[in-house]
Amino acid sequence: MAERPEHGSVVERTLIAVIAVLVLFISPLTSIWASLDAPWYSPYLVWVLAILIAFLLQRYLSRHEL
């Protein structure tokens, strides 16, 4: 019989992803991004990265909840 991951590890991984996204978008890092001579699309690349991480995390967690 396959073992199910503990509920605590699922919550921990989700919280880590949420905290990482909050740090990227709400912290003083946004003012650092603004002061750099980064291309106009750099915030969009960060959003794509956050969405990709959320998608992979959701896919991994749904696969292991069966």
Task: Flag the least confident range among 18-22, 30-34, 36-40.
Answer: 30-34
Q: How far apart are CA 29 and CA 63, in angstroms?
A: 34
Q: Give the ranges where 1-66 is alpha helix by DSSP (H).
A: 7-26, 29-35, 42-64
pLDDT at 40: 84
Give yes or no for residue 49 having a pLDDT over 80: yes
Q: Which residue has the higher pLDDT, 47 or 64?
A: 47
Give yes or no for residue 32 having a pLDDT over 80: no
Domain boundaries, the chain: 7-64
Give yes or no for residue 1 having a pLDDT over 50: no
